[in-house]
Amino acid sequence: MHPVDSPEEAAFRAEARRWLEQNASRRSRPPVAPSAIVAEWKPEEEEARLAEARRWQATKFDAGWAGIAWPTEYGGRGGTIYQQHVFDEEEAAFDVPRDALVVGLGWCGPAILHLGTPEQRRRFLPPMLRGDEMWCQLFSEPGSGSDLASLATKAHRDGADWVLEGEKTWSTFAHHADWGLCIARHGPDRHRGLTAFLVDMNSPGVVVTPIRQMTGAANFNQVYLDGVRVPDRLRLGEIGDGWRVVITTFMYERVAAYLPVRQVVEAARPLVSTSHPSRRARWTRAFITARVLELLRLRQITALHDGVPGPHGSLIKLAGTLLLDQVYDLGLDAFGPAGMVATGGAGEWVDAFLGTPGLRIGGGTDQIQRNIIAERILGLPRDPR
């Protein structure tokens, strides 16, 4: 029994564990990269890995273990946020694909659930939840990353449709996505001039170009929107509601992007167990930090019962990604000269070390997270705008 479980939650945990034992294999060791986003699959791996992720998602959906906190009318289980957390904790011990579909399930899905029409929810949530349709996020642009409100992609009304013109970047798995959640500018006002759209990625005028990263992976993309027509019924929220969609999505992204960092810390334990005392001390500090983050995560989950998550997700994201940096640096340090090359036992540590900086940019840079923490949690004066 988990120390914070109620009797009902303990029974749910036992039921989830039994189902996972029957349908998956336990990991033989903690994963070095706890996320598909950190691992950054090579192009030749993507098709097989994504197919595996979709099969596992369908298995969970068909058995009633997908979208545990989502309403039953949209394919969910109708449970609680904490039950979802319990299942995630248990699932992390098994060798299954966990988060390749996180952009849809963790970011776009909650935005549609909160802000979409009943028709949009019925149309998009069940196939998203089963893994039948994959989603991407079309937010960042070459000139608008951290300052997303300055985005330049245009949307103009043409009868019953909207026409989108512009360029998006750093869109994870957009080259595999069926649908994208896009923010575009319909008017000059910085925030109220933004509107959100659900874009069919197979529409004429959508061109997706993968971006090769230093890891050799290419799961980020440039997405060009050249006269892409979107029916008004696929507008998410009201006209001018785009910034609310952005904030809602980011809040959930910072919760959904939480990584089981203690697993990574545990993966580093064998590397430092017989190492120099200074490395063991660094590992101990990392272990304590990971435990504190788990407790902060529980606080955030409790807050979710009241609706959209608050700014504490920024604290978890900032501390978690900084911790990953420290643990991967520690791991490579323990390998010594072998940590300089991506081969042998050090290979997966090198890949994770190179993939982690992307986490410190996606969903808002470290600097953005610090501003949010300062202004919205600590109540410090705002930066000059």
As to burial, measured by CB atoms within 10 angstroms (0-12 exposed, 13-18 middle, 19+ buried), residue 192 is middle
Q: In sequence order, which residues have a C-beta less than 8 Å from that of residue 366 and are 6 or more positions away? A: 318, 321, 322, 360
- List the catalytic residue out of 40, 133, 141, 253: 253
Residue by residue, DSSP assigns 253-278 as: HHHHT---HHHHHHHHHHHHTTS-HH
For residue 307, give the DSSP letter.
S
Specify burial of residue 384 (Cβ count, 10 A radius: 0-12, 13-18, 19+). Answer: exposed
- The residue among 310, 262, 301 whose CA lies nearest residue 84 is 301
Span between the terminal Cα atoms of the chain, in Å = 49
* Angle ∠(170,173,174) on CA atoms, nearest 5: 75
State the Cα–Cα distance between residues 232 and 197, nearest whole angstrom: 8
Q: Is 253 a catalytic residue?
A: yes
Taken in order 5, 308, 306, 64, the sign of the CA dihedral is negative
Query: How many C-alpha atoms does 244 have within 13 Å on its Cβ side?
Result: 12
For 50, the token pair is 């994504």
Report DSSP letters for 155-197, one per residue: EEEETTEEEEEEEE---TTGGG-SEEEEEEESSSSTTTTEEEE
Residues catalogued as catalytic: 253
